[in-house]
Amino acid sequence: MEKIVIFILLSCCFLACELSPPPPKCVSNPPFDQLETFSKEYHAEVIKKLEKSKATDFRYFFKTFVESGEETNMILNLRNENQCFDVKMLVENWEKLGGMRKVNGKSYPKELVLLKWNIENRNDDKIVVYDDMNWIID
């Protein structure tokens, strides 16, 4: 009986992966195309874009983790049919991302599903902060 349940669960996971739509292609996206990634101007444009958006407006593709002092940021590529840009997202909640952090995403899915974030004011600057996401298999 246990083998049947495992088989059904794995089949459902396989079908879900097979049926998910392919990721949108990165499109030319002013002003991001003209700015140096993660420059002050680029960051300001990211914040402007995200303040007018909600988390479900994008699909999220992991690139890497970057440590700076005591902070760790996750670099993601956000995409939809009309936009494609990279975001530096501060991670403080490691409940679902701890295993992924240890190996910098190697052998993990590139797409992070149902990711949630918010914009916070910190040290007179607005930053994007990771809140949560759908489960991830470690």
The radius of gyration of the chain from alpha carbons, rounded to an integer in Å, stands at 17
**Domain of 102, in residue numbers:** 2-132
- pLDDT per position as a tens digit, 30-47: 899 999 999 999 999 999
> What does the pLDDT read at residue 45?
97
**Domain-located, residue 66:** yes
**Domain-located, residue 138:** no
> What does the pLDDT read at residue 48?
97
Strand order of the β-sheet with 111-112 is 111-112, 59-68, 71-79, 84-91, 125-132, 116-122
**Domain-located, residue 78:** yes
C-alpha 19/C-alpha 36 separation (Å) is 36
- Cβ neighbours around 31 below 10 Å, total: 13
- Cβ neighbours around 58 below 10 Å, total: 22
**Domain-located, residue 30:** yes
Q: Which residues contact residue 135 at a Cβ distance below 8 angstroms, ignoring those fewer than 6 apart?
A: 96
Top pLDDT among 24 and 77 is at: 77
Burial of 24 (0-12, 13-18, 19+ CB in 10 A): middle
Residue 21, CA distances (Å) to 27, 66, 130, 135 in order: 17, 29, 24, 19
- pLDDT per position as a tens digit, 89-101: 999 999 999 999 9
The count of structural domains within the chain is 1
Asked if 35 contacts 85 with a C-beta cutoff of 8 angstroms, the reply is: no
> What does the pLDDT read at residue 8?
61
Q: What average pLDDT does the structure give for the chain?
A: 88
Top pLDDT among 110 and 23 is at: 110
Residue 13, CA distances (Å) to 23, 59, 72, 99 in order: 18, 19, 30, 20
Which H or E run includes 27? none
Top pLDDT among 26 and 66 is at: 66
- pLDDT per position as a tens digit, 65-88: 999 999 999 999 999 999 999 999
**Domain-located, residue 110:** yes
